[in-house]
Structure 1
């Protein structure tokens, strides 16, 4: 198979670049399935990657991962990025899977997910984590885009934004201005907290996530992530940078 080309120089791909280039090369040149290429470089702490055919018909995907410690993987870009997030943040991914599996065991699989499973899926697919000075977070919560990206722009040098959702990473293979992440604040009272797999996993608890504490962020607005956003006029687009609903 052939995966679409990925521009690994993009700043949001820094945590995934080394593994991503290795897996993409294995898929392109052996050739190997995405599952086999991921399996070939994974450390022991990461579940085994298996072909999608290993998922029995009717079995819930998250429950299967929890029960078998294997990740069914299709030969597409979506599952390629899912595998890369497992490689980079195995404890956080395992925590999400544990919460999903516990909720499935408690309530079963229905046509509509409950609030916790819905929040877990949203973060897993489209989530991001922001460690930033309080002024930036306040501006983001208020959808005060001018303050966030123009008047307080220099504060982004003290911020770190991690894109975690694999569907979000997939969409950004073709960057577009409207692409939006669901952001979770990550900090402690003593100051900025380095992004660390164990710390991220620890922050993912059911009570916190069930209320969907996410804030939307159009990621192309992040300084340095798009050449066009060096001008203040970039943010004067009400279809992307929307204010709070009244």
Structure 2
């Protein structure tokens, strides 16, 4: 019993340390720092306080899940035995939530990009209805999960920059066209597992970029308007694309984003081929 209690206490201490370590000044967390700071203080107080804070915001926002059910957050132990996570959310509106960073950031995305989260839930629950819950998710559900866990939204008004990202042309994207960042392209973090990793940033931390073509006027809007536009555009794409597959993403090392990490001000930062890889075409060129 004492060993079990000691283990529980160690787990709680680790969770508290994780919540305390969130640095809201970093670009990947700053996008939802207003709500996040309140939730952080609640999480540091207790599990019950965190759920209460999340649910108060859900009531105020009147957000719904994939099948129009009103969003709410419940303790993980309240998920009925044998119930599929996404199917339960779609059917009841209740998101099972643990007292940890992973679920903290998952909940945050229901407010930062509510339409995208609802679209992901709608597609996941529809796939479960059709195929059931088997030993593997299948290609579509794997892609939806990858988006939910690890996506970056790469908003871009210049097709040449999108092509550079898809072509692993890091020198063009990050060095030669560096001034285009903030004027013709930018990144928003979405994946909650990716955000959890970024509590302790490391150079090889890589997200799966979902490229979103935006109008040039996008970069004259405030952040709230940009997020609302991305939320609508990406959710529409997710619901309207039948053949979802992992090849629709482009790998993007997060700390390479200009302005996001001090060390990347030096062009030599991008010479690390173990992080900024050449991609298949680049490897073929090198071989030739």
Question: Structure 1 14/209 Cα, relative in aligned 2: closer, same or farther at 3 Å?
Answer: farther
Unaligned runs of 5+ residues in structure 1 are: none
CA deviations 1:5-30 (Å, max 9, x no partner) are 20000112232111110101122246
**What does residue 105 of structure 2 align with?**
81
CA deviations 1:61-117 (Å, max 9, x no partner) are 000000111100000000000000011111110110000000000001111111100
**What does residue 45 of structure 1 align with?**
63
Secondary structure at the aligned position of 2:182 is classed as helix
- 1:186 equivalent to 2:218? Answer no
**What does residue 116 of structure 1 align with?**
140
CA deviations 1:162-221 (Å, max 9, x no partner) are 111000111111111101010111115x54653322223112134253354000000100
**What does residue 18 of structure 1 align with?**
34
**What does residue 266 of structure 2 align with?**
231
Secondary structure at the aligned position of 1:195 is classed as helix
Conservation of the 8 A alpha-carbon contact between 2:155 and 2:186: yes
- 1:35 equivalent to 2:51? Answer yes
Conservation of the 8 A alpha-carbon contact between 1:127 and 1:183: yes
**What does residue 6 of structure 1 align with?**
22
Aligned length: 245
**What does residue 129 of structure 1 align with?**
153
Structure 1: how far apart are the matches of 2:138 and 2:217?
33
Structure whose CA Rg is larger: 2
Secondary structure at the aligned position of 1:157 is classed as coil
**What does residue 175 of structure 1 align with?**
201
The aligned runs of 1:154-173 (5 Å cut-off) are 154-158=179-183, 159-173=185-199
Give the aligned CA root-mean-square deviation in angstroms: 1.7
Of 199, 209, 223 in structure 1, the residue corresponding to residue 233 of structure 2 is 199
TM, length-normalised to structure 1: 0.93
Structure 1: how far apart are the matches of 2:150 and 2:217?
23
The CA deviation at 1:131 is: 1.2
**What does residue 55 of structure 1 align with?**
79
**What does residue 106 of structure 1 align with?**
130
Structure 1: how far apart are the matches of 2:169 and 2:211?
16
**What does residue 67 of structure 2 align with?**
none
Structure having the larger proportion of residues in helix: 2
Between stretches 52-61 and 197-206, larger displacement belongs to 197-206
CA deviations 1:113-164 (Å, max 9, x no partner) are 1110000000000011111222211111110111111111111122121111
Structure 2: how far apart are the matches of 1:77 and 1:34?
11
Q: 4+ residue runs of structure 1 moved beyond 3 angstroms?
A: 29-34, 190-195
Secondary structure at the aligned position of 1:181 is classed as strand
